[in-house]
Amino acid sequence: MNQPVRKNAGPVILPEKQSSFGTHSLWNRTAYGILYLFLAIVAVFQIFPIIWLFLFSLKNNQEVFNMSPFALPEHPKWENYAKVWTEGNISQYFMNSVVYTVAAVILTVVLASMVTFAITRMNWKGSKLVLGLFMVGLMIPVHSTLIPLFSTFTQFNLIDSPLSVILSYTAFNLPITIMILLGFYEALPREVEEAAVMDGASINHIFFKITLPMTSPVIATAAIINMIYNWNEFVFVNTFISSDSYKTLTVGIQNFIGQYTTDWGAIGATLVISILPILIAFFVLSNRIVEGIASGSVKG
């Protein structure tokens, strides 16, 4: 006998598959927990050398050699920082590093942006060949160019001149900077440039007013990479610069290394001062760096 159909019956509630969803959720939590634990361990290994260097900079030679490398300083020597800043002429070296780094970064980023714009956004014969020539620069060892560069700078009276260091930084950073910008430029939509051309805009106007502002995320990425290289560079400054007034932090640190004695606390303080600008710049530009890398890795 047929059962009567009940009107206004409530919704039928199906039993949940708790086992499947519960297992999947538990697996996700476990995987994320392992990932976070791994990242925490990596972070500790990354931060520990900086903390150790800071504690090292507050010790004297007796504490450096007679105590455990991981021991805290008994009496922190804050005067090490005042000593290197005044007596060690670190203030002059610091300003030289800032001038060389900023000048070379600006020059490199502007020239690399122009080259990348010409290669990716303009149609002309030989663009692929020019790109290949720049990429060859990635395979040239720095040390193999010291003698030719020294001879060339001598002929142009650029030895012991800041210009020799700035030009060397720019030349060696151009290939890697172009490679960083390349993917981002190829992913830019051409409709904006085509509309600007229809409005009568010139190439210079399109580049400086339209394209260059659109590439600010990847420019930040290229700038921080260039800045790290320029700030930590040693070979070019040590080869081309002889005057103490033109030396940078990486070369000036040798002043605390004597024939018979070495002030290790002062060296540690100098190293701490030298890494602070890089850390500050990275924290300030970290979001732009990630954005630039993510944007440049996707085409279309």
* Distance from C-alpha of 38 to C-alpha of 35, rounded to nearest angstrom: 5
Give the DSSP letter of residue 262.
Answer: B
pLDDT tens-digit map of 90-134: 888 999 999 999 999 999 999 999 999 999 988 888 888 999 999
Mean pLDDT of 210-225: 88
Task: Please report the pLDDT score of residue 11 as a whole number.
Answer: 53
Task: Please report the pLDDT score of residue 95 as a whole number.
Answer: 93
pTM of the predicted protein model: 0.78
Reported confidence tier of residue 179, pLDDT bands at 50, 70, 90: very high
C-alpha dist (Å) from residue 175 to 108, 115, 129: 10, 10, 14
Which pair of tokens denotes residue 196? 């600007």
- Give the type of residue at 6: R
The answer to whether residues 139 and 179 touch, using CB atoms and an 8 Å cutoff, is no
pLDDT tens-digit map of 226-241: 998 999 899 999 999 9
Task: Please report the pLDDT score of residue 147 as a whole number.
Answer: 93
* Distance from C-alpha of 66 to C-alpha of 234, rounded to nearest angstrom: 31
